[in-house]
Amino acid sequence: MAAIFLVGARAAGKTTVGLELARLLDCPFTDTDQHLRQSLGRSVAEVVAAEGWPGFRARESAALREVTGAPRSGCLVVATGGGMVLDPENRRFMRERGTVFYLAAPVEALARRLARDPLAAQRPSLTGLDMVEEVRQVLADRRPLYEETAHHILNATAEPAEICAAALRLLGMAPARA
C-alpha cells in the first residue's frame, strides 16, 4: 500500500488523526512539521525569521520528500503542514504517491482549536490579522487546493476515531489493531 497523506488547515487534527490511523494500521507515522523542526533544530517561526516564507516553503517541500522516502512495502501515514498544498509539485507528488485525505473543518472550529493550542506561538502569523480573520482568509485561499489535492474529504469536526473509521472504509481496509 502507498502512503496516506493528511492535508488541511492548521488545527484540523492532522497529527491527532494521523497518529491514530497509523496505530490502527500498524504502520509508521510522520508529521512533516515535526520532522522539519527536529532536522533543523529550529521552530517554524525561527526558520521563517531567518529565511522568510519562501525559504520555509522550500524546506517544507523537501521534508515531504524526505519523510516519504523511497517506495516501500506496507503503509505510511503522513500529516502535512497546512501550507503543503501551496506548491503544485507537492500536490502532484502526494496524489501520485498515495491517498490524500483532506480534513475539512469550518473556520470557527479551527479558530477555537488554535486558541487552545500551546504551540500556536511557534508559527508566525501569515497575514497579521487576528486569529479568526486569519483562519478565514487562509482557508478561503487554500480550500480549493486542499480539495484539488484530496482523493477524499473527511469531516474534521468528528471525533478522531470516527474520522479514522471513515478513512478506513474509504480505503477498503480493516484496522490491523483494535
- Evaluate if residue 27 carries a pLDDT over 80: yes
Tell me, what's the pLDDT at 43?
85
Q: What pTM value is reported for the model?
A: 0.89
Of 113, 116, 112, 142, nearest in space to 127 by CA: 142
For each of the domains in the chain, give its residue range(s) and CATH number, in order of start. 3-171 (3.40.50.300)
User: 121 or 163: which carries more pLDDT confidence?
Assistant: 163
Residue whose entry in the numeric block shows the C-alpha cell 498515495: 98
Half-sphere exposure of 104 (CA within 13 A, CB side): 18
Interatomic CA distance for residues 129 and 137, integer angstroms? 9
Chain segment 114-155, per-residue pLDDT in tens:
877 645 544 555 555 677 888 889 899 999 999 999 999 999
pLDDT band, very low/low/confident/very high, at 113 (cuts 50, 70, 90): confident
User: 28 or 119: which carries more pLDDT confidence?
Assistant: 28
Chain segment 35-59, per-residue pLDDT in tens:
999 999 998 888 888 999 899 999 9
pLDDT band, very low/low/confident/very high, at 13 (cuts 50, 70, 90): very high
- Evaluate if residue 83 carries a pLDDT over 60: yes
61: Cβ contacts below 8 Å, ≥ 6 apart = 84, 87, 89, 90
Cα-based distances in Å from 82 to 13, 32, 50, 65, 141: 11, 10, 20, 16, 12
Tell me, what's the pLDDT at 114?
82
- Evaluate if residue 21 carries a pLDDT over 80: yes
